[in-house]
Amino acid sequence: MLVAVLSIFVGAALAPLLVRLLGRAAGWVLGLLPLGVFVYFAQTLPQIAHGESLRQTYEWLPLLETPLSFYLDGLSLLFALLVTGIGALIVVYAGGYLAHHHQLGRFYVQLLSFMGAMLGLVVADNVFVFFIFFELTSLTSYLLIGFYHTEEGSRRAARKALIVTGGGGLALLGGLVLLGGVAGTWEFSRMLDLGASVQGHPYYLAIFILVCAGAFTKSAQFPFHFWLPAAMAGPTPVSAYLHSATMVKAGVFLLARLHPVLGGTALWTGTLGLFGGFTMLMSAWLALRYTDLKQILAYTTVMVLGLLTMLLGIGTEAAITAMVTFTVVHALYKGGLFMMAGNIDHGTGTRDLLELGGLWAAMPWTMAGGVATGLSMAGIPPLFGFIGKEVTYEAALHMHTWGLLVLVASVLANVALVGAGLLVGLTPFIGEVKGAFTRDPHEATPSMWVGPLILGIGGLAFGLYPSSIDHTLLQAAQAGILQESHEVHLALWHGITPAFIASLVTFALGGVVYAFWQGLRVSAFMEGVGAVFGWGPGEVFERGLYGGVHLSGAITRRVQNGQFRWYLCATFLSLLVLVGGGMLAGGGGAEFSFSGEIRYYEVALATLILLSIAAAVRTHDRFVAILALSVGGYGVALVYLLFGAPDLAMTQFAVETLTLILLVIVIVHLPGIQGDESIGVRLRDGLVAAGCGALLTTIMSVVIQTSLDLRVSDYLAQKSYTEAEGHNIVNVILVDFRGLDTMGEITVLAIAAIGVYVLMRMPRQKKPSLAAGTSVAASRSDAAETETD
Amino acid sequence: MEQITAIVSGAMIAGSFYLLMRRSLLRFVIGLILLSNGVNLLIFTMGRLIRTQPPIIPEGAKVPPEPFANPLPQALILTAIVISFGLLAFTLVLVYRHFAAGTSIESDDVRASEPTEPLDVDDQARRLPA
Amino acid sequence: MFYSLILRVAARVLVPLLLLFSLFMLLRGHNLPGGGFVGGLVAASAFVLYVLTAGVHESRRVLRVEPHTLLGVGLALAYGTGVLALLFGKPFLTSLWVDLHLPVLGDLHLGSTLPFDIGVMLVVVGTALLMVFSVEDRLPGLVEE
């Protein structure tokens, strides 16, 4: 399985090359890769359907207990097949859809990386491997949604998706870590039978909330649903893939995967049922407010996700059967419909239902796929969608309590879905051509209609022969979720059951919705629905985001006001507060005792240095300042001389002299020190500076009273002659013991010299108009520079 | 004597901190020099002060006669003195270039990386290169 | 601007003396106070004194090589002694010693630390001069040419 996952990523890396070599035909070739992986997974089906599961482990970071482990059971297999199967069609489709886009290669890199991440996610066994792939889908979908990165709308939508799903991912990480800690294992496969002990643990509530936060954001459950409709700003192949088989299903997959561990409690059933049911009902009706094909499809995706979440919450055998069935149903029709919408957009230049109609003659192949998938979405027999709807109703009818409520909610949501399915699948093709299209309507290339067609045929085939998958794939997937095997039997015709009657009611109401959609769309009722749920959370998110940006902007402008001296002051103050406060808190005061012999000339020298510092600090005359500075520097040199460091003294003398000369040479070309800060600022700085100085003196006094570890110095002194053949220990340290440091130092010195050289040689920049404010010295140096230039 | 150099070194660092926080870049440069001197003295003091001969092994001997000054901080400081000369020269020339580029020699006017006009996020987003 | 006859005359005597002194400092550095840093700084001071009295142009002529060259040669010497140890199969920068018996100079005990120190000295001189030259090039006025 590692090879299967990795091969997709390798394909991603090779995609640009392939696009360069083959041009737009690359899609067909690249499509073979996911197809191959699909076949690989498909051939494990007999084994999996038999009730077995596959597990593979590759050691990776053994110290962190993070093996690259993969686990394939019915649930993983179902999703892996969807990811790769529909992925193959999408790859082919994208080759046609973006044939003329100059960044097709880049698109394939992102798309295949996304596919690899999604595949890794569904087959991962280790919690952290799972999480890495989970986050990788967030990142790659960010790139995909924002593929048209020159458009602000795309960037906005991509950012929205990233922040919502990424934020949820953070919560999920916390949940998974807690879960692994409680369960005592980091492998999903070993957790599956630990449900009872996890649910009895005091952390269960926290784990549940965090995992739900991850799953709900990813799967666009209320109140996080708003990012998904916005995500249709990406190219159509992306929407088709994201909505049908991947990304949004990751959250549902996560809940399904953890169902044996976390599911079955009242908390689980209540939360998932409530949020799922509400999301389902809300988005189904919101979908009908729009006229944009992709927008309608996006909201119906949210509706299906709500449905799947609700069914997982219910968690009975019938509900899980419905959940796995509907997952397949939805993947088939939603992928096809999005591709169809892309074809219509491509062929006519519009996706607006109000402008579309009568395309049957111009786009026959697209119509074939579109009608088949659209009717499946509407749940019309004999398509697979009908069976999906039936089993949903069955699940509701099997419930002991709340069954009626769930049934009514499902019927109401499905009524909207019938309407939406007919609107999307039929309206564009039937009737007369309504308006003038910006383009002459024409059929898309085969690469673009083959996908919807295959998915449409798939929906039809599974509808007519549900026995082809119910005993194998769906039953295994159900067993993966429930951890116990039940027989799954699907059929088009059950006889006149309550579910069938509910279906008839749904058709009748759905037909009414379809017929009166124009009026319904603008009715007060729909306006109300839109006003309450359409904008709320999305708007809150946008406002919050911008509020956050502006708030941080305001804080930044206050704290980082661009005043260098304020930054320094803050730094010094932190030093004072943190170190000084720490010392006070630790009770480490210093006894200041003058021990040892003190000679009068030493005191005189210290006084001289102190006076020179005072002069350098106080004066506003730049020449006085540098002279005072030099006096202090020579004084320090004398200190070195007095205490057995002639090398230092000589170096200090020479450097002090050179510094003085360099300062004088440059300073005469600069204006003098002008003005002074306000008394308050000076007082503040003075206090901070004096405090820091006192702090350092205190620290030194404390350190002096401790004993000094002289081992290094003694070692150097002992070995200086015997090993390095030098009498001057300081010099031996510099050129021998620590020669490497000296080498580094002279290199730095050379770089500084070259830096000075380059700075002085740089061509003059154009002066901004600020020059008016500067003094005479400025104009003088101007004149000087024009001469030398 | 260490106590006295501790005071002197503390005073130097205090003075340099004060100068570093001034508006005039000239005083900033002076503060920088004072700082390096002060810190060098601090290191020297921490190595303990002994009124004695330098750490030099006399002709014929294999090890220096006790007591001798601690050679390790001396080697450190020698390096530091020379490096701080390079730093000073570079800073000084930087200040000059800043002045020659047309603005003043006040640190408040060094704003190239942090412009004074408030940042318009929407505008920035719109101006991203295509 | 800083024209001073006394300084000029004094410089004529002082500069060669200072240069000689810097060599002295360098050579005795391994055994007595001194060394490459001090030697380099003294030599640089001598040249800067010359710059102050005779101007950059004249100093360049007298120096004969550009300060960059000093930097480069110095770094090459220092790195070269490090690499030399590698050629003898020792770790980088290990110092090597040889004893020479020369007829005139007598016994010499030479180590690879000397070229290293010379490299340090050249870099220090080069640094100081490159800085002073480039600043003086750009900001004339201190010295009359």
pLDDT at residue A775 above 60? no
How confident is the model at residue A787, as a pLDDT?
39
Quote the percentage of chain B above a pLDDT of 70: 86
* Closest residue in chain A to residue B56, using alpha carbons only: A728
Q: What is the ipTM of this complex?
A: 0.90
Inter-chain CB proximity A728 and C35 less than 8 Å: yes
Max mean pLDDT among A345-359, C13-27, C99-113 falls in C13-27
How confident is the model at residue B77, as a pLDDT?
94
Query: Cα separation of B75 and B93, whole Å?
Result: 28
Same domain flag for A277 and A413: yes
C48 chain-A contacts, CB cut-off 8 A: 658, 661
Q: Does C104 touch chain A (CB under 8 A)?
A: no
How confident is the model at residue A773, as a pLDDT?
40
The number of folded domains in chain A is: 3
B112-123 pLDDT, tens digit each: 777 666 556 556
How confident is the model at residue C3, as a pLDDT?
64
- Considering only the beta carbons, identify the residue of B78, B85, B93 that sits closest to C135: B93
Domain membership flag for residue A566 = no
Domain membership flag for residue A729 = no
Chain C closest CA to B3's CA: distance in Å? 27
How many CB atoms sit inside 10 A of residue C60's CB? 16
Mean pLDDT, to the nearest integer, of A78-92? 91
Mean pLDDT, to the nearest integer, of A341-369? 84
Lowest mean pLDDT among A322-326, A438-442, A664-668, A703-707: A438-442
Query: Cα separation of A776 and A781, whole Å?
Result: 9
Q: Is C18 helix (H, G, I), strand (E, B) or coil?
A: helix
Same domain flag for A429 and A351: yes
Q: Does A711 touch chain C (CB under 8 A)?
A: no
Which residue is associated with the tokens 């990788």?
A: A136
Lowest mean pLDDT among A364-368, A587-591, A600-604, B29-33: A587-591
**Crossing angle of the two packed helices B71-100 and C36-63, in degrees rounded to 10:** 40
Contact A599, A643 (CB under 8 A): no
Tokens linked to A694: 């006192």
pLDDT at residue A780 above 50? no
DSSP string, C38-73: HHHHHHHHHHHHHHHHHHHHHHHHHH-S-HHHHHHH
How confident is the model at residue B126, as a pLDDT?
56
In degrees to the nearest 10, what's the CA dihedral of A693, A695, A699, A700? 20
Tokens linked to A77: 């297999």
Amino acid at A548: G
DSSP string, A432-451: ---S--SS---PPPHHHHHH
CATH number at residue B31: 1.10.287
Contact A230, A243 (CB under 8 A): no
| Bridge partner list, C107 | C101
In degrees to the nearest 10, what's the CA dihedral of A108, A109, A111, A114? 170
State the best of C32, C131, C137, C142 to mutate against chain B, taking most chain B CBs within 10 Å: C131
Mean pLDDT, to the nearest integer, of B91-114? 80
Lowest mean pLDDT among A57-66, A74-83, A316-325, A569-578: A57-66
Query: Cα separation of B78 and C124, whole Å?
Result: 13
How confident is the model at residue A712, as a pLDDT?
87
- Considering only the beta carbons, identify the residue of C41, C111, C140 that sits closest to A725: C111
Which residue is associated with the tokens 């892309």?
A: A342
Query: Which domain-ending residue is among A507, A522, A537?
Result: A522
Lowest mean pLDDT among A516-530, A764-778, C108-122: A764-778
Q: Please, what's the b/e burial string for A128-156 (b: 16 or more CB within 10 A of its CB; e: otherwise)?
A: bbbbbbbbbbbbbbbbbbbbbeeeeebbb
A350 to each of A150, A357, A433, B51, how far by Cα in Å?
Answer: 21, 11, 13, 93
pLDDT at residue A612 above 90? yes
Range of the domain at B69: 2-56+64-126
How would residue A174 be classed by pLDDT, with cut points 50, 70 and 90? very high
Asked if the peptide bond before residue A381 counts as cis, ω within 30 degrees of 0, the response is no
How would residue A614 be classed by pLDDT, with cut points 50, 70 and 90? very high
DSSP string, chain B: -HHHHHHHHHHHHHHHHHHHTSSBHHHHHHHHHHHHHHHHHHHHHHT---SSB-SBPPTT-SSPPSSB--HHHHHHHHHHHHHHHHHHHHHHHHHHHHHHTTS-SBGGG--SSS-SSPP-HHHHHHTS--
Asked if the peptide bond before residue A466 counts as cis, ω within 30 degrees of 0, the response is no
Query: Cα separation of A321 and A489, whole Å?
Result: 9
How confident is the model at residue A788, as a pLDDT?
40
Mean pLDDT, to the nearest integer, of A526-550? 76
Lowest mean pLDDT among A514-518, A590-594, A615-619: A590-594
* Closest residue in chain B to residue A727, using alpha carbons only: B57
Chain A closest CA to C88's CA: distance in Å? 17
How confident is the model at residue B130, as a pLDDT?
41
How would residue A768 be classed by pLDDT, with cut points 50, 70 and 90? very low
* Chain A neighbours, 3+ Cβ pairs < 8 A: B, C
- Considering only the beta carbons, identify the residue of C33, C124, C131 that sits closest to B82: C124
Q: Is A126 helix (H, G, I), strand (E, B) or coil?
A: strand
How confident is the model at residue A767, as a pLDDT?
47
- Considering only the beta carbons, identify the residue of B52, B71, B109 that sits closest to A730: B71
How would residue A440 be classed by pLDDT, with cut points 50, 70 and 90? confident
Q: Is C108 helix (H, G, I), strand (E, B) or coil?
A: strand
A195-220 pLDDT, tens digit each: 888 888 888 999 999 999 999 998 88
How confident is the model at residue A97, as a pLDDT?
86
Q: Is A193 helix (H, G, I), strand (E, B) or coil?
A: coil
Same domain flag for A617 and A496: no
Helix residue spans in chain C (DSSP H): 5-28, 36-63, 67-87, 113-138
How confident is the model at residue A786, as a pLDDT?
41
Inter-chain CB proximity C41 and B82 less than 8 Å: yes
**Which residues, at least 6 apart from A132, have a Cβ–Cβ distance to it below 8 Å?**
A120
How would residue C141 be classed by pLDDT, with cut points 50, 70 and 90? low
Inter-chain CB proximity B11 and A764 less than 8 Å: no
Inter-chain CB proximity B75 and A738 less than 8 Å: yes
A747/A24: higher pLDDT: A747
Query: Which domain-ending residue is among A670, A693, A719?
Result: A670
Mean pLDDT, to the nearest integer, of A246-256? 87
pLDDT at residue A254 above 80? yes
pLDDT at residue B35 above 90? yes
pLDDT at residue A578 above 50? yes
What are phi and psi for residue A445, nearest 5 degrees?
-70, 160
A514-525 pLDDT, tens digit each: 888 888 887 777
**Crossing angle of the two packed helices A364-378 and A384-397, in degrees rounded to 10:** 10
Mean pLDDT, to the nearest integer, of A723-734? 86
Same domain flag for A383 and A498: yes
Inter-chain CB proximity B104 and A671 less than 8 Å: yes
How confident is the model at residue A588, as a pLDDT?
59
Same domain flag for A631 and A748: no
Which residue is associated with the tokens 């000093």?
A: C70
In degrees to the nearest 10, what's the CA dihedral of C75, C76, C82, C87? 170
In degrees to the nearest 10, what's the CA dihedral of A487, A493, A495, A496? 110
Query: Cα separation of A633 and B23, whole Å?
Result: 24
Average pLDDT score over chain B: 84
Mean pLDDT, to the nearest integer, of A313-321? 88
Contact A678, A565 (CB under 8 A): no
How many CB atoms sit inside 10 A of residue A317's CB? 15
Tokens linked to C107: 């016994």
Mean pLDDT, to the nearest integer, of A457-484? 86
Could you tell me if residue A649 is left (phi over 0), alpha (psi between -120 and 50 degrees) or otherwise beta?
A: alpha
The count of C-alpha atoms lying within 13 angstroms of the C-alpha of A724, restricted to the half-sphere facing its C-beta, is 28
- Considering only the beta carbons, identify the residue of B64, B92, B119 that sits closest to A717: B64
DSSP string, A64-78: GT--EEEEE-HHHHH
A599-609 pLDDT, tens digit each: 888 889 999 99
B102/A313: higher pLDDT: A313
How would residue A784 be classed by pLDDT, with cut points 50, 70 and 90? very low
How would residue B104 be classed by pLDDT, with cut points 50, 70 and 90? confident
Inter-chain CB proximity A784 and C141 less than 8 Å: yes
pLDDT at residue A529 above 80? no
Tokens linked to B126: 């719109």
Query: Which domain-ending residue is among A494, A522, A550?
Result: A522
Average pLDDT score over chain C: 83
B42-57 pLDDT, tens digit each: 999 988 888 878 888 8
Domain membership flag for residue A518 = yes
pLDDT at residue A777 above 60? no
Chain A closest CA to C68's CA: distance in Å? 8
A100-144 pLDDT, tens digit each: 888 888 889 999 999 999 999 999 999 988 999 999 999 999 999
Nearest residue to A285 via CA among A421, A422, A424, A412: A412
Q: Does B82 touch chain C (CB under 8 A)?
A: yes
**Crossing angle of the two packed helices C36-63 and C5-28, in degrees rounded to 10:** 130
How would residue A765 be classed by pLDDT, with cut points 50, 70 and 90? low
Tokens linked to A405: 């409520």
Inter-chain CB proximity B54 and A645 less than 8 Å: yes
* Chain C neighbours, 3+ Cβ pairs < 8 A: A, B
Inter-chain CB proximity C41 and B93 less than 8 Å: no
Same domain flag for A476 and A339: yes
Chain C closest CA to A656's CA: distance in Å? 10
How confident is the model at residue A789, as a pLDDT?
37
Query: Cα separation of A508 and A303, whole Å?
Result: 20
Same domain flag for A441 and A313: yes
How many CB atoms sit inside 10 A of residue A357's CB? 17
Quote the percentage of chain A above a pLDDT of 70: 94
Query: Cα separation of A542 and A547, whole Å?
Result: 8
The number of folded domains in chain B is: 1
Tokens linked to A641: 């001389």
How many CB atoms sit inside 10 A of residue A745's CB? 21
pLDDT at residue A535 above 70? no
Contact A687, B113 (CB under 8 A): no
How would residue B125 be classed by pLDDT, with cut points 50, 70 and 90? low
Range of the domain at A640: 607-670
Triad A666, A670, A675: Cα angle to 5°: 135
Q: Does C124 touch chain A (CB under 8 A)?
A: yes
Nearest residue to A87 via CA among A164, A13, A12, A23: A12
* Closest residue in chain A to residue B44, using alpha carbons only: A640
A657-699 pLDDT, tens digit each: 999 988 888 888 888 887 778 888 899 999 999 999 999 998 8
How would residue A381 be classed by pLDDT, with cut points 50, 70 and 90? confident
Mean pLDDT, to the nearest integer, of A374-402? 85
DSSP string, A677-696: --HHHHHHHHHHHHHHHHHH
Quote the percentage of chain C above a pLDDT of 90: 23
A566/A431: higher pLDDT: A566
Q: Is A381 helix (H, G, I), strand (E, B) or coil?
A: coil
Query: Cα separation of C41 and A653, whole Å?
Result: 9
Which residue is associated with the tokens 């701080």?
A: B84
Query: Cα separation of A564 and A218, whole Å?
Result: 44
Chain B closest CA to C117's CA: distance in Å? 13
pLDDT at residue A772 above 60? no
How many CB atoms sit inside 10 A of residue A578's CB? 10
- Considering only the beta carbons, identify the residue of A563, A626, A700 that sits closest to B30: A626
The count of C-alpha atoms lying within 13 angstroms of the C-alpha of A24, restricted to the half-sphere facing its C-beta, is 14
Q: Does A777 touch chain C (CB under 8 A)?
A: no
Which residue is associated with the tokens 């700003």?
A: A233
